[in-house]
Structure 1
C-alpha cells in the first residue's frame, strides 16, 4: 500500500508530541479518525461505524485523509505493514510486539492517540468494530487500551436459502428461478444492508446463497441462449442486485459464495433437449456437461470474486465415478475457462460439500487440478444434537480435515429446533470446541436457527407484520460467531457477558439477565437430547417439535431409521429397543440411556420455566418479544414432558415385546394419556402464536406424518392423530384380553396384477412364489414370500447389469398403478440402497420413501427383502433405479390396499412388529 509523505509526517508529529494542546480541548470531545490517502473500502466502512459509535456518546468526529489541523483526540486506522504504524507500535511495545495473523488487529491507545492496525484490510475493519463496541459499552473512549486479537476459524459464515417452503408448479426440488415473484426480498437493498451489517458486526466473513441452478437466472450462455429462465427485465434486475450484493459484501470483508446442486439444468434447457431438469439415476450426458461447464465459465467471468459451493449429490447417483468426473471434468474446467477469458490466474475458492458423495476420493483427483479448495460437511446432520460427536461421521470429518485443505462445519437446517427460539450459549460454545478438537475443522457455515425455507421471516404469528429472522434470532447468530472467532472463553466470563447482553436487551438487571440465560440454556438441552435418543433421523423429513407416533418410538427401523443419528451424532448410549432388551435380559447399560434423557428433559423444562418466570416481572424493554420468548420456554417444557411420558409408555410396550404380558401394556396406558395431556398444553401455547412448525412443507416431510400440500404443520392438526393413537391403543389392549385374541389372525388378501403393457424388450417374468429364480444370471431362488405378494407377476432382471448400470422398466398403463420394488435389507454397495431423503431429495417423488411390507421375502443366501411402492399416473412410464441389486416384484393398481407391517421373514432376532397396537 502506498503511503503519502504527508501521512507519514502527520503520524510522526502526533506520535512524538506531548499532546498538551489536545488535552486542553478534551472538554470539547473532538476526535479525528485518520486514514491513509489510498486505502481499501473496508477501512472506510470500519471508520464510519467507529464514527457513529463515538457520536452516540457525545464526540464530535471528523474522518480525514490529509494533514489539515487536527483538533482533539486522534485515531489512526491502517495496516500493520504500514512502515510508520509498525514503527510506532514497536516503540509502544519496547519489549516485544507480536503481530496478529490473518484478519487480526491491534488497538493501542496512549496520550489521546489511538492506533487501530489490521494484519489486512479485514483486520483493520474488525479493529474499528471492536473499538466501536468498547465505546458503546463504556459510553466513552478509553484513555488507555492494549488489545491484540485474531480469529480462530478461517471461514465464518451464514447462509440464505434462495428457496421456498413448497415446490413451484411443474418443478422439482431446489428449482427456484431468481424472480421478484418468487423472492421479493432478494431485491430489497435496505434489507440486504441490514443483514450484511449484522454479519460484519459479528465478524462473519462469508455468506452462502443456496440454490439448485442459479446460473439460468444470472448469466447467458452464447451457445444456449434459450436456457435462461427469466425475462430480460428480471435478468437486468438480477445483474444489478447481484453486483450490489457482491460489492457491499466485500466492503464488509464478506466473501459471497454461490451454491448449486448437481446435476440440475434449467427448465427451458431441459424442455428444448427433451430431458428432465434433474434425474438422480441419469449418468453424465455430454450436452448437459457442456451446458453446465459453459454456465460456470460465464458466471466466473461475470463474477470472478464470488466463490462456489458444490453439492455433488441428491441430483446425481451419489458415491461413484460420475462424481469425480463431474467435478474434475466439468466444474473445475468451467471455472478455469472463465478465468482464462478474463486473463486471470488467481483462483476463486471452491467449496466441496461432503454430502452424498465420497468427498475424500473426489478431492484426491481435484487437488492436482485446482489449489483453492475447501471441504464442508454437516456438523450434526440436519439438526443440532451434540457437542460429543463420535463414530463414522466423526471419522469422515477428521479425514477431510487431514487432507491439507480447510474443513468447514455446516450447522445445517436445525430440523429439531424449529420453530422455537434457541440461545444456549454454553451448548453452542461446546459445539464449536468440538469442531476444533474432535473434527479438526477450522470453518463455520451457519444456517438460520429456524424457518430456513421461509427466509427472511420467522414462523411467529404476530397478527401483523412478520418478524425477521435476523431480529428474532440475534442471539443464535451472535453466539456462533462469537465462538467461531474464539471458542476458548472462560465460562464465568461468558455468563457475565451474556447476562449483560440480555439485561440490556430486555431492560433488567444482570441477575435477571442470568435468569434469562439460564432459561435459554436449560431449554437448549431439550431438543438435542430428545432427537438423539428417540428420533428417526437427523434430517428435515422429521419435524421433532410436532412429536412422534408411538409406532415410531417402538419400531423406528420401520420408518427409515437413520443410523448415523445413534452411532455418531450424540454421546455413546442406547436406543429405546437396546435399553428394553438389556432390561429384559438384566444386562448392564452403557452411556446415555432413554431413562436418563426422560429424567433430564423433565428437569430441564421445569428449570427453564422457573428461570424465565423469575425474570418476567423485571422486564422494562421489548416486552412483546420477551413474552414470545417466555412462551417458547413454556413450549419447550410441554414438549419435553410430552416426549418423556410417551417414551415411558414406549418402554412398557417394548417390554411387552419380550414378556407377552398384557399388564405391561396396561402400565403404558396412563403414561400415554399424560403425554397427550402435555401435547394439548403445547397446542394451546402455539395455536395463536405460530403459523407452522416446519418450514419445509412438501411431501419430503414424513415424521411424525406426511406433510404433503403444506398440511400437518401445526400442533392443532396433529392433536387428532395422537388422540386416535391413544384410542386405538385402548381398543387393542381390550382385544388382546378377549378370549378369541390368541387364535385371531389378520386376514391377508393377495394382491392381483394391474393391467399394463410392458415396453422393455426381452425382460423375463416369473410368478412370485417359493422356489422361483429371481435373477436371470444367478441360481438363487425364493425361500418364502408374504401372503399378499404370492403369485404376482415379477420381473427377472440381470443382476450383473443391475450392478453396472442400474435397473429400468418401461410400461404403459391405462389406470394409475404402483410398482412393487424389493430392497435387500443390508447396507452393501452390491445392493440398491432403500430410498433415503437425507441424501436424495427425490426419494419420495413416487411415494417410495416408506417401507410397506418389511421382511416380506426370503431369498436363498441373500438378506431379507423390504417392499417399497412407486406410484405412476396413467400413460407410458419408466421406472428408473440406481446401481445395485434389487427385485421388481410386480405392478398392481394404485388403489390396491397394501398393508404396512413386518412379515417377519428374516433370520434376525426379535423383530416383532408392534405397530398394530396403535392402528
Structure 2
C-alpha cells in the first residue's frame, strides 16, 4: 500500500471502491476546510473589530496622571490599540468603533450621554459606561481617576464593548474599602516581644516579591478595594533613617535600600490602581537598638511618656511622611500604652499629629494624608474631640465582632461605641479582625457577609470597611493547607475578598440576584454546571453559620487567645469565668440569649428560657451541617477547573460536619452534668456520659479529617493563646495534639463518678496554707499580715471581711488608695529564688479600679503569667467588690513590677511553684464549680 497526496490507493481493489474511498476522504477534508474557513473569518472579524476600536481620551482636569494612564492601559490591553495620538476632541465625529474616556467635568459629553446621567456622577469613584445604540460611541465617564480605573476594569471584564447598548452607573456606598496584610510571624522573635518584626528578607521574603505584589494589587482593584493596610509594631525603623537617632535603624544598609525600593514600588503600583497604602503601627513601641542604648524596654504597658521617646517618635513619623507622601497612617494607641487616659490624647495630639505636619512641611505639601484612629484600648471619642481642631483628614476604626465573626447584628455597649464614632462626622471604618474562630478552614458564605455589611451601615453607622485575611493572618501569604506546595491565601480565599468587596460597594441586592451571581461565579471558577453551583452555594451559606454560632453561644472570648475550631474543655463550657470570660461576647456580639451556665441554672429552677439558647444552637449547627453535606452529595468529581481546590472545599464542608457534631454533643453533656450542682444526684453525672462519649468520637472523626489536610488550626502560635490549651512554643495547635486531651478528660470524668459513688458526699479536702516568701523590697512599703479584720489601706478605714483560708498569714502591702488611683505602683525587689507576686484585682470595670490584665486589649497581658485569675473569689474588703488574685512570675534577681493606676491590692510573695493551677476559693459560698471532676492532663488541670 502506498500513499499519494494523502489519498490511499488500494491497487487490488476495484475502481469503484477506490473512487468511493477517495470521495469519502474528500468530503472529510472538505468539512475540515470549511471549519478552517469559518474560524478564519471569525478570527478576522474579531481582529478587524479590535483594530477598528479606537480609544479617545481627554486629560483635561486630570490630577493623578499615573492612575489615568493605568485606566487607559487597561482599555488598550483589551482592544489592542496603542495609546498614542488618540486625544479626544469635542468636535470629533465618533461612532460605533470608538471608546471615549474622561472625567465627567472635563468636557461637554452631552452629545453622546444624557446630561442627567452626567450630573449623577457626584461621589468619588463613581463612574458611567454608556452607549446609546449600535451606531454610537461607547463612553466611560467618572468623577475621578479611580472611577475611570473601575469603569475600564468593568468594560474589559464584562466585554461591554461588544454590546449595541450599554448603561452602567456605579458609585460606592462605603468610601473606604480595604484589606490588610500583617508584617507579622506566627511566633515571637528571640529577645523580642509581640508585633516586633523588622522588615527583612529572612523574615518576610514575600515582601520583596514584585510579581506577588502585582497579583495581590490586581485582585484588589478587580474587586474595587481602595486601601491596603500593612500592620506592624514599629515599621519606621525599617523604612527611614534619622539624623538625630542613626542607631535606631533596625536593618542593615543593604536591606534598608531594598526596603526603600520595594516600598516605593508598592506605593506607586497601588496609586496607579486607586489604592491608598496605610501603614499601621502600635504605640508606644521602640526599636530594639534604640531601647537598648537608652536602657529602655521596647514596649511597656504602663510606660511614662518622656521627651526622648516623644522626640524620637515624632521625628520618625515626620521622616516617613516626607519620604512616602501617598501613605496614610493607622494608629493604635492601646496595648503598648497605659490604655484609656490623658496620655492617649497627649500622644496623639502632641506627638503623632505634629510629626505628620512636620513631614508635610518638609515636602512643602498641604495635602493631609489620612490618619485613622483605632478605637482599641483607648477613649476614641475623647481623642477625636481633641484632635479634630488641629487635623481634619481623620477617620476612626473599631473591630466589628472583636477578633472573630459571630453576628451581623451587634448590640449593647459595643454597638453604642460604633454609633458614637459614626456620629462624630468623619468616616467610621469597620475592622473585620483576625477571624480567630474561622481558622483555618475556608469561609465563603455570601449571605452572612452581606448581612454583616448591612449591619455595619444600619447599626454601626459606618461607611468604611477593613478586612483581614480570612485565615492564617500570622502566616501570610500562605494558608494552613497541608499541600506539596503551600497555597497562597490570595488564591485560596478569592471568594472571601470578592464577597466583602461586593457588598461594601453596594449592600442592597436581592436574594435572586445574589443567588444567580454567586452561582455563576462558582460555575466559572470550578467548571461545574449552574445547578451544581447552586447546590454548592447552599452548602457554603449553611456552613457559614456554624463557626459564628459556636463561638457566640459557647465561647470564652472573641479574641485570638481562643481557637474554637480546636474545641473546648468541659470546664471551659461549664465554668467560663475561670478562663477570663470576655462578657462582651455575649452582651454585644451575639443575639440575646443564654450562656450554658445560665441555661442550666434556669433548667434546675424551672425558669423559662429566653432568646438564643445553647441547646437551640447545639441542634442548629448540626442541622446546618446536615443541609450542607446533603447539598454536595454527588459533586465530588464534577469540577472541570481548579479540581484540587474543589476537592479541598468539599472536604472543608465535611470537616464542619464533624466540628458541629463534637460541639453539639459536648454542650448537651455540659448542660446535663451541670444539673448535679443543684441536685447533688450522681445520676445526673452518669446521664452526661453518653453525649460526652459521642463528642469524643466526633472529635476523632475531626482529627482524621484534618491530620493530612492541615498543618495547624491557629496561625498565632504564642503563649498568648490559651483556649482550649496553652499554645506556648506552638503546642496544641493541631487536632492530633488535642484528641488525647479530650480522651483523658472523658476518662477522668468517668473515674470521678466512680469515686463519688464510693466516697459519698464527703469529698472536701483540707486547704493548704500558702507560704509567704520573703524578698528584699527596695521600695519604702508597709506590710500587714492578712486575716479577717486586717486594715489594708493607710488612708481608709476599710477592713477585710471575707478571706480564703489559704491566704491567712500572707504579708500584704498597705496601700495609699488615692496615690494608687492617680499614679499606680512601681514595686522594686530582689529575690534569690523564682517567685510569684499576688495582685488582687477587683471584679468591677469602673474606672476607679485598676483594669485586669486582658489579652483582648493588651497583647502583653500574659508576659508574667498574669492573664488568668489564679484564685477567683478570693477575698472581699468592706464595701468593695469581690477580688480575684492574679499572679506575676519573676525569676531570681532584681525585678520590677508596675501596677496600673486604679484600686488594686498587693497581697504578698510566694514561691513560683505555688498556685500552678487556677481555682475558685468561693469565699461567699456561691457553690462548687465542679472543675475537680475532670482531673489533669499531664501537668495541666483540666
TM-score normalised by the chain length of structure 1: 0.94
Q: 2:578 touches 2:918 (CA, 8 Å); kept in 1?
A: no
The structure 2 residue matched to 1:917, chosen from 914, 933, 936, is 933
The residue correspondences of 1:184-223 to structure 2 (distance < 5 A) are 184-223=205-244
C-alpha change, 1:97 and 1:905, in structure 2 (3 Å) is same
1:364 equivalent in structure 2: 385
1:679 equivalent in structure 2: 699
C-alpha displacement of 1:874: 1.2
The residue correspondences of 1:146-545 to structure 2 (distance < 5 A) are 146-462=167-483, 464-545=484-565
C-alpha change, 1:832 and 1:96, in structure 2 (3 Å) is closer
C-alpha change, 1:27 and 1:896, in structure 2 (3 Å) is closer
Q: 1:30 touches 1:72 (CA, 8 Å); kept in 2?
A: no
C-alpha displacement of 1:33: 2.2
CA–CA separation in structure 2 for the residues paired with 1:559 and 1:28: 66
Establish whether residue 121 from structure 1 lines up as the match of residue 139 from structure 2. Answer: no
The structure 2 residue matched to 1:105, chosen from 127, 139, 150, is 127
2:26 equivalent in structure 1: none
CA–CA separation in structure 2 for the residues paired with 1:576 and 1:424: 27
C-alpha change, 1:180 and 1:274, in structure 2 (3 Å) is same
The residue correspondences of 1:704-783 to structure 2 (distance < 5 A) are 704-738=724-758, 740-760=759-779, 762-783=780-801
CA–CA separation in structure 2 for the residues paired with 1:24 and 1:571: 56
CA–CA separation in structure 2 for the residues paired with 1:254 and 1:96: 25
CA–CA separation in structure 2 for the residues paired with 1:564 and 1:612: 36
Q: Secondary structure at the match of 1:615?
A: coil
Establish whether residue 647 from structure 1 lines up as the match of residue 671 from structure 2. Answer: no
C-alpha displacement of 1:520: 0.8
C-alpha displacement of 1:607: 1.1
Show CA shifts across 1:647-692 (max 9, x none): 0011112222222221111111111110111111110011011111
Q: Secondary structure at the match of 2:894?
A: strand
C-alpha displacement of 1:99: 2.8
Show CA shifts across 1:773-792 (max 9, x none): 11222221222322322212
Q: 2:112 touches 2:136 (CA, 8 Å); kept in 1?
A: no
CA–CA separation in structure 1 for the residues paired with 2:554 and 2:529: 39
The structure 1 residue matched to 2:839, chosen from 821, 824, 832, is 821
C-alpha displacement of 1:28: 6.7
The structure 1 residue matched to 2:657, chosen from 631, 634, 637, is 637
Q: Secondary structure at the match of 1:377?
A: strand
2:100 equivalent in structure 1: 76
C-alpha change, 1:375 and 1:24, in structure 2 (3 Å) is closer
Q: 2:95 touches 2:136 (CA, 8 Å); kept in 1?
A: no
Q: Secondary structure at the match of 1:866?
A: strand
C-alpha displacement of 1:340: 1.4
Q: 2:520 touches 2:530 (CA, 8 Å); kept in 1?
A: yes
Aligned length: 883
Q: Secondary structure at the match of 1:428?
A: helix
* Bigger shift: residues 782-791 or 248-257: 782-791
C-alpha displacement of 1:67: 6.3
CA–CA separation in structure 2 for the residues paired with 1:354 and 1:318: 11
CA–CA separation in structure 2 for the residues paired with 1:722 and 1:369: 57
1:3 equivalent in structure 2: none
Q: Secondary structure at the match of 2:114?
A: helix
Q: Secondary structure at the match of 2:719?
A: coil
CA–CA separation in structure 1 for the residues paired with 2:75 and 2:534: 29
1:698 equivalent in structure 2: 718
CA–CA separation in structure 1 for the residues paired with 2:517 and 2:52: 30
CA–CA separation in structure 1 for the residues paired with 2:735 and 2:47: 64
2:157 equivalent in structure 1: 133
Q: Secondary structure at the match of 2:710?
A: coil
Show CA shifts across 1:595-629 (max 9, x none): 11011100001111111224224222211111111
C-alpha displacement of 1:753: 2.3
Q: 1:755 touches 1:814 (CA, 8 Å); kept in 2?
A: no
RMSD after superposition:
1.9
C-alpha change, 1:751 and 1:540, in structure 2 (3 Å) is same
Q: 1:857 touches 1:866 (CA, 8 Å); kept in 2?
A: yes
Q: 1:53 touches 1:133 (CA, 8 Å); kept in 2?
A: no
Show CA shifts across 1:368-403 (max 9, x none): 011000000000000000011111100000110001
Q: Secondary structure at the match of 2:501?
A: helix
C-alpha change, 1:795 and 1:573, in structure 2 (3 Å) is same
C-alpha displacement of 1:754: 2.4
C-alpha displacement of 1:53: 4.4
C-alpha change, 1:86 and 1:28, in structure 2 (3 Å) is closer
Q: Secondary structure at the match of 2:866?
A: coil
2:11 equivalent in structure 1: none
1:552 equivalent in structure 2: 572
C-alpha displacement of 1:549: 0.4
Unaligned runs of 5+ in 2: 1-43, 936-942
1:33 equivalent in structure 2: 55
1:870 equivalent in structure 2: 888
CA–CA separation in structure 1 for the residues paired with 2:836 and 2:165: 76
Q: Secondary structure at the match of 1:819?
A: strand
C-alpha displacement of 1:97: 5.5
The structure 2 residue matched to 1:884, chosen from 891, 895, 902, is 902
Q: Secondary structure at the match of 1:84?
A: coil
C-alpha change, 1:67 and 1:435, in structure 2 (3 Å) is closer
Q: Secondary structure at the match of 2:847?
A: coil
C-alpha displacement of 1:911: 4.7
Q: Secondary structure at the match of 1:63?
A: coil
C-alpha displacement of 1:858: 2.2
TM-score normalised by the chain length of structure 2: 0.91
The structure 2 residue matched to 1:842, chosen from 847, 850, 860, is 860
2:628 equivalent in structure 1: 608
C-alpha displacement of 1:473: 0.2
Runs of 4 or more, structure 1, over 4 Å off, are 22-29, 67-72
Q: Secondary structure at the match of 1:609?
A: helix
CA–CA separation in structure 2 for the residues paired with 1:831 and 1:897: 24
CA–CA separation in structure 2 for the residues paired with 1:467 and 1:550: 35
Q: 1:32 touches 1:63 (CA, 8 Å); kept in 2?
A: no
Q: Secondary structure at the match of 1:613?
A: coil
C-alpha change, 1:75 and 1:279, in structure 2 (3 Å) is same
CA–CA separation in structure 2 for the residues paired with 1:777 and 1:121: 66
Show CA shifts across 1:861-880 (max 9, x none): 21121111111111100111
1:16 equivalent in structure 2: none
1:47 equivalent in structure 2: 72
C-alpha displacement of 1:884: 1.1
CA–CA separation in structure 2 for the residues paired with 1:609 and 1:726: 29
C-alpha change, 1:67 and 1:457, in structure 2 (3 Å) is closer
CA–CA separation in structure 2 for the residues paired with 1:851 and 1:779: 27
